[in-house]
Amino acid sequence: MRLLLVLSILALAPLHAGNVIFIHPDGAGVAPWQAARMISKGPDGELAWDRLPQVAIYRGHLKDNLTSTSNGGATVHAYGVKVSAAAFGTGDSAEAPPVSAGGEPISLMLEARKAGICTGLINSGSIIEPGTACFVVSAKARSDYEEITRAVLESGVDVILSGGEQWMLPEGVIGHHGKPGKRKDGQDLIQAARARGYEVVFTREELRIVPPTTKKLLGVFAADHTFNDQTEEFLEGAGLPLYGPSAPDVGEMTAKALELFGTQKFFLVVEEEGTDNFGNCNNAPGMLAALLRADEAFRESLAFLEKHPDTLIITAADSEAGGMDIIGLTEGSKEHLAIAKNGRDSNGSPYDGLQGRPFESAPDRFGVRHSFVVTWASRNDTSGGIVIRAAGAGSETIRGTMDNTDIYKTMRAALFKN
């Protein structure tokens, strides 16, 4: 109720420069969010994601591809202009940043830093992931992992929380998370970050006790990703969990970043990468776990918005990972019998449940639980049902059908409009 009152007031108020939180649940279209709601809150329940009142259909094509790549899509979000599928914070030259929709060859995050605005990058994946890295890095290729890592850590961003320790340490040096470094240049970027004034933490518990007065924070929560992006069968055979137990989720990382920013103006980009990687593995339990972790970032952001109404929360994916969809089952139906028999639909698409059985929803409004399975169209990214959602200052511009370049324009207006 308090949030609705805040949003009603904001709809009537003029837009002033304020904070921006961009949450990017990579690879998550509408259907995965439906499944996450069903399994956690029931079909009549409400996720935090559902509480963002403004909604628009997302058009995500690139200059040379109807389906976005992670790096191409992130570059569009960071600069507000169309780029090619191969772009990594780059324009036509593939070596330099594009001229942004703001008129300069600089990303929105670097422009914010230049203006003295606090900045943060959060990713459940490795530090090399483009959904966050493209906001501060221009790389010749997505595979330039050493250079991407160095550039992120030397960007001056105030809060950097992710995995990717292996790309921060010299080749062969064993890191906190038990894996050897992979840098061939011999640099120890963690020590270099400490020398630049960053507090460095490696676990959820260490993050939790970081003092709110901390100015610069680097969280290194895994050697690679904080999750194990493999099929259910592989993870079960290897005895591996979906997510590493010592790593914080993106909700916890978001909460700490917001605590550190306090009343300072800021621009925060948060990516849940597990939604993309588990989707491409056609791992439905992993996808659902990742979505519910992403929803915690929305919950923390909405709680912040209630106290700081000059904040814009905006979210979109850039594609769908695996073309996930949902089929409801009734006991004894053809679909129910099919999953018990061979786990496939009549057209050959796989059915995915939980340990060989259908998923069961949380109770609906009548107290009834419902069975459902997930079905997958592909192991690639698709151009399906992506939406932009938003809440807070400036969110009233999110409506109808909007281009991926409009993400940048909406965020820039919220950060800089007088």
pLDDT tens for the 418 residues of the chain, in order: 444 434 443 443 334 479 999 999 999 999 999 999 999 999 999 999 999 999 999 999 999 999 999 999 999 999 999 999 999 999 987 778 999 999 999 999 999 999 999 999 999 999 999 999 999 999 999 999 999 999 999 999 999 999 999 999 999 999 999 999 999 999 999 999 999 999 999 999 999 999 999 999 999 999 999 999 999 999 999 999 999 999 999 999 999 999 999 999 999 999 999 999 999 999 999 999 999 999 999 999 999 999 999 999 999 999 999 999 998 888 766 666 666 556 677 677 777 876 667 899 999 999 999 999 899 999 999 998 999 999 999 999 999 999 999 999 999 999 997 4
Q: Are residues 38 and 119 in the same domain?
A: yes
Same domain, 220 and 257: yes
- Full-model pTM: 0.93
Provide the β-strand partners of residue 200. 218
Residues 366 and 408 in one domain: no
Q: Let me know whether 153 and 214 are in one domain.
A: yes
- The amino acid present at 172, given as its one-letter code, is G
Q: Kind of pairing, strands 381-382 and 320-321?
A: antiparallel
- Verify that 79 and 103 share a domain, yes or no: yes
Assigned domain for 78 exists: yes
Residue 16 inside a domain? The answer is: no
332 lies in the same domain as 281 = no
Q: Are 257 and 288 found together in one domain?
A: yes
Is 266 domain-assigned? yes
Look up the CATH number of the domain holding residue 229: 3.40.720.10
269 with 358, same domain? no
Residue 309 resides in a domain: no
Same domain, 392 and 354: no
The reply to whether 289 and 366 lie within a common domain is: no
- Helices marked H in 169-249 — which ranges? 189-195, 204-208, 232-238
Distance CA 323, CA 41 (A): 23
SS3 167: helix
Whether 344 is in a domain gets the answer: yes
Question: Is 187 contained in some domain?
Answer: yes
| Total tally of structural domains belonging to the chain | 2
Indicate if 352 and 408 belong to the same structural domain. Answer: no
- Residue 131 domain boundaries: 2-10+23-299+376-416
Max Cα-Cα span within the chain: 64
273: helix, strand or coil: coil
Residues 358, 385, single domain; the answer is no
Both tokens of 212, joined, read: 């709110």
**What is the number of other CB atoms lying within 10 angstroms of the CB of residue 127?**
29
> Is residue 320 one of the residues assigned to a domain?
no
User: 103 in a domain, yes or no?
Assistant: yes
